[in-house]
A = this chain, B = another copy of it.
Amino acid sequence: MTDSAKRAVFIGRFQPLHLGHLNAFQHVLGRADEIIVVVGSAQYSHTTRNPFTAGERITMIRLALREGKVDAERYYIIPIRDLHIHKMWVAHVVSLTPDFSVVYSNEPLTSTLFREEGIKVEPIPFFDRNTYSSTEVRRRMLQDESWRDLLPSTVADYIEQIGGVERIRNVAQSDNPNEMKR
C-alpha cells in the first residue's frame, strides 16, 4: 500500500474560525480526498489581530469539522509559524505537511508564492465575504455586538468557555502599537 491520496492545502489564521471557513473546507473536500488545514501565524496570540493561540485554533477547527460532520480521517490540522521570509515559505509548508498536489487560496501573496514554486493554486468561492470574516467577528466582539451567529455554535461555545471575548478586549487596550498589528 502506498500513500496516494489526493490532498489539498488550505491556509488560514482562524482568528477566529467562522462559518465561511467551514464552508470553504467543504468546498475543498468536494474536490480532494483529504484536506490539510494549515493554522498560519501559529506563534502569535494575545493581540487584537491574533487573539487566540494555535492550540485554541486547532481546537476550534476540530469542533467545526465535527459539527459539520466531516470524517476525521479526511483532514489534518497543522500549525505553522510565520517566518516573514516569503521566498522560503513554500519550502517551510512543504517540510511540515504530508504530500499534497494543490493549494486552495484567494490570498494574492500565498497564490504568488506557491505558483512561483510550480504548485497549482485554485480559488475558493466567497461565502458572503463581508459578513463571514474574522475581522468582522473580532470587531463585533470588541464592540459588544452579536457575533455568535457568524460561527459554528460549538466554536462560539468554546470561545466563551475560554474567556475569549474578555481576552480580546483586554489586549485591545494595550498601548503597544507594534504588537497590536501582529
Contacts and interface: CB of A to CB of B under 8 A. Distances in A.
Contacts of A157: 1-2
Contacts of A63: 3
Name the prevailing secondary structure of the A interface residues.
helix
A2 B164 CA distance: 13
A79 interface: yes
A111 interface: yes
A95 B88 contact: yes
Interface in A165-182: 167, 170-179, 181-182
Interface residues of A, number: 64
B109 A3 contact: no
Interface of A: 1-3, 42-47, 49, 53-56, 58-59, 62-63, 66, 71-73, 76-79, 84-88, 90-92, 94-99, 107-109, 111-113, 153-154, 157-158, 161, 167, 170-179, 181-182
A14 to B, nearest CB: 13
B62 A66 contact: no
A62 B170 contact: no
Given A55-B95, A95-B55, A174-B107, A45 B86 contact: yes
